[in-house]
Amino acid sequence: MTSLVKGQGTDLPPVLSATGNQLYCPAASLPIAQSISITDPDDTSTSAVYIQISNGYINGEDILTLTGFHPNITTSWDIVQGELTLQGPATYTEFEAAVLATEFSSSSLTPSGIRQFSITVGEANFLPSTQHYYEFVSAPGISWTAAEAAASARTYFGLQGYLVTLTTQEEADFSGAQASGFGWIGATDLAVEGEWRWVTGPEAGTQFWQGLSNGTELTFANWNGGEPNNVGSNGEDYAHIAAASVIRGGAPIGAWNDLPNNGGGGAYASQGYVVEYGGMPGDPVLNISATTNLTVSKCNVITNRRITYRVKN
């Protein structure tokens, strides 16, 4: 069985491919994939497969549901991340059947847009736009320096881990949705006060912000309202994803704050860190994820005495 532990395992990664590009009618329930294949050179089973609504997710309206009978697979739905866990252990054949039986539905009477689904063998979530993998690691009380070391010690099917670097709003929103409250990210102005730089991953050394909260955005920044503010006698030199309860000033959920190395108290107490995998020199090419799409379409309802048809415009 393929190990999902992020370590220096010897298992070869599986290869996953899937197809699906359908139209979705409001009030319907529709499979998220039309075909799927999971192959592995040295295993026939695995512990879990994860399906996430990786783009277009509407919390509280959208849901993924496993239909049919799958005796070796149980499910759990994460409403924050929009992710359905298919939990085994089970054979790849059983997981293929379960993915094909997973359906999307929306409780909204007027849904719109496109829903993109990422299907992944492994626990880290896949973001198609970056082709990288992300996971929140729960570690209450961990400092930024300890989190940076822990993230760099992790691997994921041979990909080198690092404390996450967030260079677009989509990536920031995606990682912010994963972080359970407070999560450290790979940014600091320790070297020069006010020069906020990414110091981990492929972006190491890149300055993205200059100054305090009224400073200058050089590339992309996602600060919480009034941040960074460098308060306290010793200042605040490390960045984290703020808890939803302290978001202010119209900032999005997942906005950033600066804190001392050991974090703060209450809502500012460290809960863990976000690890990113991908883009590092020597990383292998993986095919452990696939994406499919549903496009919401206006549908005409035609009813005769026996049958109701939903006709896509």
* Whole-number pLDDT of residue 12: 81
Q: Looking at domain 15-122+288-312, does it have CATH number 2.60.40? A: yes
List, for residues 89-131, the tens digit of each pLDDT value: 999 999 999 999 999 999 999 999 999 999 999 878 888 889 9
C-alpha distances (whole Å) from 165 to each of 80, 116, 127, 128 are 21, 23, 13, 16
Quick one: pLDDT at residue 307?
47
Which residues have C-beta within 8 Å of that of residue 261, sequence separation ≥ 6?
143, 144, 145, 237, 238
Which uninterrupted H or E stretch holds 96? helix 92-100
Helix, strand, or coil (residue 245): helix
Three-point CA angle 38, 79, 185, nearest 5°: 85
Domain locations in the chain as residue ranges: 15-122+288-312, 135-277
Between 4 and 289, whose confidence is greater?
A: 289
Q: What mean pLDDT is reported for the chain?
A: 90
What global pTM score does this model have? 0.78
User: Coil, strand, or helix at residue 76?
Assistant: strand
- What is the tens place of the pLDDT at every residue in 139-196? 999 999 999 999 999 999 899 999 999 999 999 988 887 776 789 999 999 999 999 9
Mean pLDDT check: name the lowest of 166-170, 252-256, 300-304: 300-304
The arrangement of secondary structure in 135-277, i.e. its CATH architecture, is: Roll (3.10)
Residue 140, helix vs strand vs coil: coil
Question: Is a pLDDT exceeding 50 seen at residue 3?
Answer: no
User: Which residues, listed in sequence order, are joined to residue 148 by a DSSP beta bridge?
Assistant: none
